């Protein structure tokens, strides 16, 4: 098994590990860990989850894989049972995968069992011990390191992000221009999950193109932001304040044009008003409402569902709030996203 020694704090090291785990030539044991002092827990946990997903997906892609994949958590399964699964021969295949996560409550006897397994692993099994933020005994760390099983996973610094972006696209056989990389860095910063999502979307948007430039990134961002705004509207329609705040924060992080948000919000409120006006007259048939308003059937269904939470006067007031929002965004010096946030709250306060 190829060794990846030392801490994986650089893009090249993490990409090397990603390629290793994507291969069919996996070793018998991997101990995922991070060094003390790591502060970016979200990034590390995302990388750990990503690496595990890669291995699990590859195993399940094999015809007999579904019989030979076990993912367990130490909060539900004793380490002894996980190791027993690891020692079980694969069913109808050549290889078994056992993932054991958690490890926070492992005791000395449990660690001794882990040591015994590391000393004599079953080579027809790949055992992943995912303990990134667990205080692992020094003798376990030393043994795993000596055997080449230890994998340190750490968050990427901002200066390493461009190399990471370049690498994850190259793995897909796609070249990403320096301008596109710079735009993605500006968009996502060091958030690896956002970058992974952006990569997957760009691969779909530029299918068979083989190269991604800054224009492709801008188009993807526009579509993503538009989708997020419609999700914001849906959250308003079901009066989900928590989701509203979450989406607004996402839109703010993406630097979505505030007037663009207001335009789509007002458009949706006007659609709701059309349906509410007609339904208040007793017209609730979807095809009839579609014919009267000129709206597509799926929009009629959406607005009908939302209309139960808003009276006619309240929808009219919501549209008035949107009109005021347009003016305020153009003339106020207050943070635009806080203005939109207040408008969303005001709209919810009109609902009965």
CATH number of the domain bearing residue 299: 1.20.272.10
195 in the same domain as 87: no
Domain boundary among 138, 155, 172: 155
In a domain, 239, yes or no: yes
Is residue 70 within 8 Å of residue 85, measured between CB atoms? yes
41 in the same domain as 149: yes
35 in the same domain as 132: yes
Domain boundary among 155, 186, 220: 155
138 in the same domain as 51: yes
Is residue 115 within 8 Å of residue 139, measured between CB atoms? yes
Is residue 347 within 8 Å of residue 241, measured between CB atoms? no
Query: What secondary structure letter does DSSP report for 158?
Result: G
CATH number, residue 45: 3.40.50.300
28 in the same domain as 146: yes
180 in the same domain as 120: no
Query: How far is it, in rounded angstroms, from Cα 26 to Cα 141?
Result: 20
Query: How far is it, in rounded angstroms, from Cα 189 to Cα 330?
Result: 28
329 in the same domain as 306: yes
pLDDT score of 342: 93
Q: How far apart are the first and last CA of the chain?
A: 64
Task: Give the H or E element holding residue 345.
Answer: helix 336-349
DSSP string spanning 291-336?
A: HHH---HHHHHHHHHHHTTS-HHHHHHHHHHHHHHHHHHHH--S-H
User: What total of structural domains would you count in the chain?
Assistant: 3
Tens of each residue's pLDDT in the chain, 352 residues = 444 444 444 788 899 999 999 988 899 999 999 987 777 888 899 999 999 999 998 888 776 667 899 999 998 999 999 999 999 999 888 899 999 999 988 999 999 999 999 999 999 999 999 999 999 999 999 999 999 999 999 888 888 999 999 999 999 899 999 999 998 888 777 888 888 988 988 988 887 788 999 999 888 887 877 888 888 998 998 888 999 999 998 888 888 888 889 988 998 899 999 998 988 888 888 888 888 888 888 888 888 888 888 888 888 999 999 999 999 998 988 999 999 999 999 998 875 4
CA distances 34 to 152, 154, 155, 280, Å, are: 5, 6, 9, 60
In a domain, 107, yes or no: yes
148 in the same domain as 82: yes
In a domain, 222, yes or no: no
In a domain, 226, yes or no: no
Query: Whole domain around residue 116: which residue ranges?
Result: 7-155
Query: How far is it, in rounded angstroms, from Cα 78 to Cα 21?
Result: 25
Phi–psi pair at 309, nearest 5 degrees: -100, 0
CA distances 197 to 155, 163, 191, 324, 338, Å, are: 17, 17, 10, 35, 27
In a domain, 251, yes or no: yes
In a domain, 45, yes or no: yes
In a domain, 227, yes or no: no
What is residue 172's three-state secondary structure?
coil
Nearest to 123 by CA among 24, 55, 23, 28: 28
Residue 129 class from Cβ within 10 Å (0-12 exposed, 13-18 middle, 19+ buried)? buried
Query: β-strands 29-33, 7-8: how paired?
Result: unpaired
pLDDT score of 63: 65
In a domain, 221, yes or no: no
pLDDT score of 41: 86
Nearest to 262 by CA among 348, 341, 350, 352: 341
Query: How far is it, in rounded angstroms, from Cα 348 to Cα 250?
Result: 20
Query: How far is it, in rounded angstroms, from Cα 93 to Cα 256?
Result: 50
27 in the same domain as 81: yes
The 10 Å Cβ neighbour count of residue 136 is 19
169 in the same domain as 65: no
Query: How far is it, in rounded angstroms, from Cα 238 to Cα 154?
Result: 39
Query: What secondary structure letter does DSSP report for 61?
Result: T
Model confidence, pTM: 0.67
pLDDT score of 6: 42
Is residue 126 within 8 Å of residue 26, measured between CB atoms? yes
183 in the same domain as 122: no
149 in the same domain as 12: yes
């Amino acid at each position: 098994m190829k060794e990846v020694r030392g801490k994986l704090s650089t893009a090249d090291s993490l990409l090397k590990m990603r390629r290793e785990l994507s291969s069919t030539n996996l070793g018998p044991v991997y101990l995922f860990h991070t060094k003390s002092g790591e502060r970016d827990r979200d990034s590390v946990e995302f990388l750990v989850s990503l690496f595990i997903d890669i291995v699990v997906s590859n195993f399940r892609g094999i015809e007999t894989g579904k019989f030979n994949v076990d993912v367990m958590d130490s909060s539900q399964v004793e380490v002894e049972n996980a190791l027993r699964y690891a020692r079980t021969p694969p069913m109808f295949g050549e290889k078994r995968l056992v993932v054991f996560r958690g490890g926070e409550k492992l005791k000395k006897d449990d660690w001794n069992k882990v040591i015994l397994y590391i000393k004599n692993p079953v080579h027809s099994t790949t055992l992943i011990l995912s303990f990134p933020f667990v205080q692992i005994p020094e003798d376990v760390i030393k043994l795993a390191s000596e055997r080449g099983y230890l994998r340190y996973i750490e968050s990427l610094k901002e200066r390493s992000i461009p190399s990471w972006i370049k690498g994850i696209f190259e793995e897909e056989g796609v070249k990403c221009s320096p301008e596109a990389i710079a735009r993605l860095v500006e968009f996502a910063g060091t958030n690896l999950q956002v970058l992974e999502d952006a990569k997957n979307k760009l691969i779909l948007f530029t299918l068979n193109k083989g190269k991604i430039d800054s224009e492709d990134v801008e188009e993807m961002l526009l579509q993503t932001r538009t989708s997020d705004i419609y999700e914001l509207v849906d959250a308003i329609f079901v009066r989900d304040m928590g989701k509203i705040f979450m989406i607004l924060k996402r839109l703010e992080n993406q630097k979505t044009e505030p007037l663009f948000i207001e335009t789509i919000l007002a458009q949706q409120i006007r659609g709701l008003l059309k349906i509410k006006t007609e339904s208040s007259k007793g017209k609730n048939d979807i095809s009839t409402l579609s014919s009267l308003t000129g709206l597509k059937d799926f929009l009629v269904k959406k607005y009908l569902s939302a209309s139960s939470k808003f009276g006619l006067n309240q929808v009219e007031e919501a549209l008035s709030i949107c009109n005021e929002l347009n003016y305020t965004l153009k003339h106020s010096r207050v943070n635009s996203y806080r203005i939109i946030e207040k408008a969303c709250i005001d709209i919810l306060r009109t609902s009965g």
